[in-house]
Amino acid sequence: MTKLEPAVSTAVAGGRRAWLGLGVLLLPVLLVSMDISVLFLAMPTLTVDLEPSAAQQLWILDIYGFMLAGLLITMGNLGDRIGRRNILLAGAAVFGLASVLAAFAPSAGVLIVARVLMGIGGATLLPSSLALISNLFPDARQRATAIGIWTAFFAGGSAVGPIIGGLLLHHFWWGSVFLINIPVLAILLVFGAFLLPEHRSAALGPIDLPSVALSIGGILPLVYGIKHIAAEGFDLLALGIAAIGVVLLVLFVRRQRHLAEPLLDLSLFARPLFRVAIGASTVGMMSLAAMSYLTSIYLQSVTGRDALQAALLGIPMAVAVFVCSMSGAKAGLRWGVRTAFTLALTLSAVGNLMLLGVGVDGGLMWYVAGSVIAGVGYGISFTLVSDVAVSAVPAERAGSAVGISETSFELGNSLGLALLGSLAALIFRSGGDFGETLGDTIVHSGGDAGLVAAARESFVSGMHIATACGALLLLGMAVLAWRSARVTR
């Protein structure tokens, strides 16, 4: 048997203190997921103050998710070895210090560095918080409920990020979207040490450092190469960087096959439901990130709304994601995981396709209705992903399994901005003699109403094509879920 140091007492597991512990675990989840999208509405005002280039704007948005994607598997494994509570609290401290640096960043370069540090801190928070649920709630039904709540805050945080950002921007400067992290993290650091049990496995050996280097060294250049190609077109430099990433990832996978304790447990992918869960989270976050980012720009730069008004229009989707995340595990138990995944992915695709009804001069109700329907699908599918990940392995390996699922979420978010966001930008720029972004074009239009109207029309066309591509990916994943995930629960 695996020796755990220290064991979770029956008085803690599943009892009142466990639910209080869950409340503490929800805090970092909300912050990490919220900080993925909180900058969407802040970009226009941030751009005025820091004057980032178009490339720097993408890096400000992307690098946080890239660091999460590159480090989640490593941090999940590290938490299994040195203690999940230890790494959770250490990550919270790093995240808080980086948030202060981001809030008062004097330049775009400093802000990018701060976002890198936030990504490092955030990578310790997600896998440890979800893995600790398996210790707090050994009962399957209680665990499913707790995972549903956890996922509601994770998925809801991404949806509510622009709303909170809009409210803050209405009253304060753009740095306030980072300073809000400080009091929340202070609560976590104070109460986490008392309410959360420590969990580490004495049976696991040292973490394989070459695997860590190969995983990070593979993910980052691959994603950078893809982003550059999507935004600027094919060139030898981008292809070379992407090729380096592919080679390193191939070496990483080959190394995992020969390790007694791999960083990435490849045997998990032999399970049809686990494969579907990872595919659903990746594709789901790609489409959600693109939809959130593009519609935030649309509401402000096309319809002329301010940040607060745009944020308020995002409330229906945030509510849909939050409520349906709470019931996602129940949907899996009632209908079977295969059917629930298929239905959820299809609803998300339909919601994205409804954005085709949005235009420069109207169609706002298509946005509200489409975002709500998509939110229902996202909420259900994201809860199923978390439940499948936690249930896939014994408790002592939960951190590593959760690291894989959370990596797919963050990689999907980053790829959504990099690929679908860049596709929309490419179509926008091909529509006329515009600036690098819609906001830049409007600012430097010199009062040319015709130019502004044409730029807005071109942006909407790009948004339509990007969200339609996201919908097609979701429908494709729904078909794969129905055909390949034959195991039901």
| Better pLDDT: 485 or 51 | 51
Model confidence at 8: pLDDT above 60:
no
Residue 82 Cα distances to 6, 85, 87, 266, angstroms? 12, 9, 7, 23
Q: How sure is the predictor about 396, in pLDDT bands with cuts at 50, 70 and 90? A: low
Which range of 59-68, 99-108, 261-270, 399-408 scores highest in mean pLDDT? It is: 99-108
pLDDT score at 351: 95
Model confidence at 1: pLDDT above 50:
no
The answer to whether the beta carbons of residues 262 and 210 sit under 8 Å apart is no
pLDDT > 70 fraction of the chain, expressed in percent and rounded:
84
| Better pLDDT: 352 or 418 | 352
pLDDT score at 473: 95
Bridge partner list, 4: 201
Q: How sure is the predictor about 31, in pLDDT bands with cuts at 50, 70 and 90? A: confident
The token pair at 79 is: 């938490």
Q: What is the mean pLDDT of residues 146-161?
A: 73
Q: How crowded is residue 151: how many other Cβ atoms within 10 Å of its Cβ?
A: 29
pLDDT > 90 fraction of the chain, expressed in percent and rounded:
11
Least confident of 200-204, 319-323, 325-329: 200-204
The answer to whether the beta carbons of residues 127 and 403 sit under 8 Å apart is yes
Over residues 279-319, the pLDDT tens digits come to: 888 899 899 888 988 888 888 888 888 767 777 788 888 88
Model confidence at 158: pLDDT above 50:
yes
Over residues 166-202, the pLDDT tens digits come to: 777 777 777 887 888 888 888 888 887 777 777 666 5
The answer to whether the beta carbons of residues 300 and 311 sit under 8 Å apart is no
Over residues 447-476, the pLDDT tens digits come to: 777 888 888 888 899 999 999 999 999 999
Taking the C-alpha atoms of residue 353 and residue 173, their distance in angstroms, rounded to an integer, is 35
Q: How sure is the predictor about 407, in pLDDT bands with cuts at 50, 70 and 90? A: confident
pLDDT score at 400: 60
Amino acid at 217: G
pLDDT score at 6: 42
pLDDT score at 428: 84
Q: How sure is the predictor about 435, in pLDDT bands with cuts at 50, 70 and 90? A: confident
* DSSP 8-state class, residue 421: I
Taking the C-alpha atoms of residue 253 and residue 265, their distance in angstroms, rounded to an integer, is 10
Q: Burial of 28 by CB count in 10 Å (0-12 exposed, 13-18 middle, 19+ buried)? A: buried
Mean of the per-residue pLDDT values of the chain: 79
The answer to whether the beta carbons of residues 69 and 410 sit under 8 Å apart is yes
Q: Is the dihedral of CA 174, 67, 322, 199 positive or negative?
A: negative
Q: What is the mean pLDDT of residues 469-484?
A: 90
The answer, yes or no, to whether the previous bond of 6 is cis (omega within 30 of 0) is: yes
Between helix 140-171 and helix 272-297 the angle, nearest 10°, is: 10
Q: How sure is the predictor about 393, in pLDDT bands with cuts at 50, 70 and 90? A: low
| Better pLDDT: 430 or 249 | 249
